[in-house]
Structure 1
Amino acid sequence: MWPQMGEENLTDSVESNSTVCSPIDDFRNQVYSTSYSFITLLGLVGNGFALVVLIRTHRQSSPFHIYMLNLAVSDLLCVMTLPLRVLYYVKKGEWILGDFLCRLSSYALYVNLYCSIYFMAAMSVTRFLAIVFPVQNLRLMTENRARLVCLGIWVFICFSSSPFLMVGQKQVPDTNNFKCFEPPQADGVQRLVMLNYLSLVIGFLLPFLVILLCYAGIIHALLSRKHAARRNRGSGTRAIRMIVIVLLTFLISFLPYHIQRTVHLNFLSRTDTTCSEKVAMQKSVVVTLCLAAANSCFDPLLYFFSGEGFRSRMSSLHRSKSSSQVDRMKQLKPITGSESGENCQLKSSNSTTNRLG
């Protein structure tokens, strides 16, 4: 379903009939290698820590907890493939890791992108029901139903993104080097335009509309609460934090990428473009794709600031570790002479008591 495009190098495939513009290889290699390195580091640390906390406290499970767990897994699967891209751009566009990893690295980025959008939509619906319809929420939002929703999202997104597995590495005839993330040929641009509109509606606009409607309902419910109902201020605070973080993620990561991709594909069908326009468009591809990949760095903020009891999970995990360490210290603590004497006296007095009894 999603447009099958070589995202990093898309503009290289379509040149106008008049002039051939100078490439932006140096800019592209530097920005991608630096950005993906930072995203990998932050994404691994943040989502790895969140995943450990969520798994170790699985007994405190809830539908929101299940969505957070799946979102963290999606982010980790994505950032684990980013070092492959870093190596590719550090080597100035030479792919040395084989055809399978080329397909996998492109596939993983888009699976994460749209899984993140849909998991955020599911989390928003869950929060909406908990605040606006708290009684019905207990019946509607169960853990088993949340697992089924997550399974459906994984199957749908993985299947829809499967075209990215169909295009692998390509060999350059002049140098015999291999390249990855290469664009389609010029005659396939019109097909990509149609596929882009389909993915734009189903993969982005539809879940984003659901999120906006849920947030509108949440804000209306919070503003219309009476003073007596303010004992639930904790859930309202978490909801506000979630609204802010999710909207920032969409405004920074998802929205610029989808707008730029749509404008870019229509730009490629033109034949009257100048070199300055082409260079600007190519650089915008680089910047917006880096922002899209950075969505995995925003999600740990969502867990920490708006997750149901995430910080209490961290505290309980810390307390359990501390208690286990104390227990081990007690077991390993050597018996001193005074303690041995006290134990002997205790045993002697117990035996005397037994005889007198």
Structure 2
Amino acid sequence: MGHPNLTDSVESNSTDCPSIDDFRNQVYSTSYSLITVLGLVGNGFALVVLIRTYRQGSPFHVYMLNLAVSDLLCVMTLPLRVHYYVAKGRWDHGDFLCRISSYALYVNLYCSIYFMAVMSVTRFLAIVYPVQNLRLVTENRARLVCVAVWVFICLSSSPFLMSGQHFDSVTNKTKCFEPPRRQGVRKLVMLNYLSLVIGFVMPFLVILVCYAGIVRTLLSRTSAARRQRGTGTRAIRMIVIVLLTFLISFMPYHVQRTIHLNFLSRGDTTCSEKIAMQKSVVVTLCLAAANSCFDPLLYFFSGEGFRSRLSSLRQSMKNSTLRRIGRVKPATGSESGENHQLKAT
């Protein structure tokens, strides 16, 4: 599904064109820093809630848990990218971390797409086929689906592990996250179309079909059924959040990546076109990495009982605090009694 680092960084095809390194370094370092903070806080908080309320499990809960883990693994590698671009394209962390940092971003990207697809299918079955859903959708099957998604994405994204650090004799710096040389573009064009179809188009079509079925079912419900709005409201919220994530994060990146690869294979490009293309690479990759910031919205607004899980977690923490205070009070009372007795004597 992947190919060696195409869009992490950009180098000019012509020495006549001015470098966009300053633009690239500033945008990447700022964006990745912001994504790291928001992603760690949002997904870390969601993961704590999901783990602490794991007894209230459901298939949707299993998918949310795996999506949060995927996001956290990704954002934990972003500080290495921030350091690289703050250092103006100098890599000092070794070949292994270079490969893992590239790999983690794209594993998260496609895991997010696939987990959103299976979550959409789960919601579709719950609304359109509620009776069959009780038999077909179970926690154990959801775990098997998650294992299958992880294995498939990790294996199909393995080409990202093939590209590590290298020394640039022109700048006298060790580089990471750099694009392939021009001679490898034809092979990447074919790999891109494969990953575009399997990693983006197919799951997106599945999501659209599921949402069409959900909307149709909700519109055809009787007035009595519409009064039971909990599931339908969560489904509508999920549709809005997932579609926004695809339109803002995933679609611009995949469209631009395809255009960029075809652009690199041309020989009649002008300098202004190259600069515009290189800057679009930077912007769309930042948007793709930002998908980790959208997922906490998915948990909070459309997750099955996520807010009730949060309330129950708060209540259990409150009860635990009260129990600890209750255990301390008798000791305090006995101490005050002893003091009173001493004073009396």
- 1:324 correspondence with 2:320: yes
- 1:160 correspondence with 2:156: yes
Using the TM superposition, name which of 285-294 and 169-178 deviates more. 169-178
Report the count of equivalent residues. Answer: 337
* 1:186 aligns with one of 158, 182, 185: 182
CA contact (8 A) 1:10 1:184 kept: no
Residue of structure 2 in register with 1:2 after alignment: 2
CA contact (8 A) 1:88 1:94 kept: yes
- 1:31 correspondence with 2:58: no
Structure 1 unaligned runs (5+)? Answer: 342-357
**What is the TM-score of this pair, normalised by structure 2?**
0.95
Task: Evaluate the alpha carbon distance shift between residue 286 and residue 337 of structure 1 in structure 2; reply closer, same or farther with a 3 A threshold.
Answer: closer
Partner Cα distance (2:335, 2:104) in 1: 64
CA contact (8 A) 2:165 2:176 kept: yes
Partner Cα distance (1:10, 1:3) in 2: 15
* 1:208 aligns with one of 201, 204, 210: 204
Residue of structure 1 in register with 2:342 after alignment: none
**What is the TM-score of this pair, normalised by structure 1?**
0.92
CA contact (8 A) 2:9 2:24 kept: no
Structure number, greater radius of gyration: 1
Partner Cα distance (1:324, 1:93) in 2: 50
Partner Cα distance (1:97, 1:2) in 2: 23
Which amino acid in 2 is paired with 1:79?
A: V
Partner Cα distance (1:43, 1:299) in 2: 9
* 2:260 aligns with one of 253, 264, 267: 264
Partner Cα distance (1:278, 1:246) in 2: 32
What's the offset of the Cα at 1:2?
1.6
Which amino acid in 2 is paired with 1:51?
A: L
Using the TM superposition, name which of 174-183 and 311-320 deviates more. 174-183
Identity of aligned residues (%): 75
* 1:282 aligns with one of 268, 278, 284: 278
Structure 2 unaligned runs (5+)? Answer: 339-345
1:10-34 Cα distance to aligned partner (Å, 9 max, x none): 453x44xxx6311100000000000
CA contact (8 A) 1:43 1:297 kept: yes
Partner Cα distance (2:291, 2:169) in 1: 36
Which amino acid in 2 is paired with 1:336?
A: G
Q: Give runs of aligned pairs for residues 146-157 of structure 1, distance below 5 A.
A: 146-157=142-153
Which amino acid in 2 is paired with 1:278?
A: K
Partner Cα distance (1:192, 1:338) in 2: 77
Q: Give runs of aligned pairs for residues 83-98 of structure 1, distance below 5 A.
A: 83-98=79-94
Partner Cα distance (2:333, 2:152) in 1: 65
Task: Evaluate the alpha carbon distance shift between residue 131 and residue 173 of structure 1 in structure 2; reply closer, same or farther with a 3 A threshold.
Answer: same
Partner Cα distance (2:97, 2:333) in 1: 60
* 2:236 aligns with one of 240, 245, 256: 240
Using the TM superposition, name which of 163-172 and 33-42 deviates more. 163-172
What's the offset of the Cα at 1:337?
6.6
Partner Cα distance (1:320, 1:231) in 2: 31
- 1:60 correspondence with 2:56: yes
* 1:305 aligns with one of 283, 301, 308: 301
Partner Cα distance (2:32, 2:275) in 1: 21
